[in-house]
Amino acid sequence: MAPELEWEDVTSDHESTLNIFGLISADSILTSFVRVHRTLDMEAPPRFIIRDAEVIISNGMNEYIFEYTDFFWDEIDPLEEVYLYPGNDLNPQPGETWTLNVTTPEGLSVTGETIVPPLPQIFNEELPDTFHLNQTMEITWQSMADNYQIMNVGNYLGYFGYDDYYGGGFSCGLWQENIIKPEEESWTYRRDICGESSDQEWDEDLLLLNLMSMDNNYFDFFIRFGEVEFSSSTIGEGGSGRSFGIDGGIGVFGSVAIDRHWIPMIP
């Protein structure tokens, strides 16, 4: 005869914690946003996205109230379930200190602080007028004393998703990424060797150079400690428990600036 099963109530003394991803952008295309999650305790409903928080960002002179939206079509990537500033007078500048205050109706709160990095500068005048697919190109930029940068190079059509250019074709091998240490000022770029066929059709396209500077919080979160894949801007449920630029919760509050350049490509 099988023994009778007894059920035991499982309880947890875990308290919910705010899990923040906040980004201040000193760029005209990339949108500043804040994503507010909470870690889950066993009694909480299975929804970790907080939609009714008070989110305020300040530069010490003005306060900017961010509002929740389910979806926003950013010029680079669509943003989902984030807080955005509805006005057009948010204009972060290099060297400014920005603070974050998040408060929920349940009484959870966090603060954050970031210093906007210097504006990156690609030395466009030293680049060729056109890029031959198989040429070697020296890319130079203004070096920075204290901030890391990251250079992404790829074809324009693939970057904006107009076609499936990642799986091969003439753009095979073009997409590359380089993490730039302080004081570094150049990178030799060449298309990677890949198994494309020699009879592929040529489509008119541009080579896109994207140079991004980042504050220490952003660098530590994505690169130094590798919390999540660099290209992702999503924080999942719970997180690892680390905080970068955040006090009273986990996650990151960072800032970036971007410079871009386009070069026509020829076969």
Q: Delimit the CATH 2.60.40 region(s) of the chain.
A: 124-214+261-266
- Which residues are paired to 72 by β-bridges? 79
- Which residues are paired to 129 by β-bridges? none
Per-residue confidence (pLDDT) for residue 16, from 0 to 100: 82
Give pLDDT tens digits for 107-161: 999 999 999 999 999 999 999 999 998 899 999 999 999 999 999 999 877 665 5
CA 42 distance to own-chain centroid: 31
**3-state SS track over 90-114:** CCCCCCCEEEEEEECCCCCEEEEEE
Give pLDDT tens digits for 170-209: 677 888 999 999 999 999 999 988 765 545 566 678 999 9
Q: Which two tokens stand for residue 57?
A: 């960002």
Give pLDDT tens digits for 225-253: 874 443 333 333 334 468 999 999 999 99
Q: Which CATH class is domain 124-214+261-266?
A: mainly beta
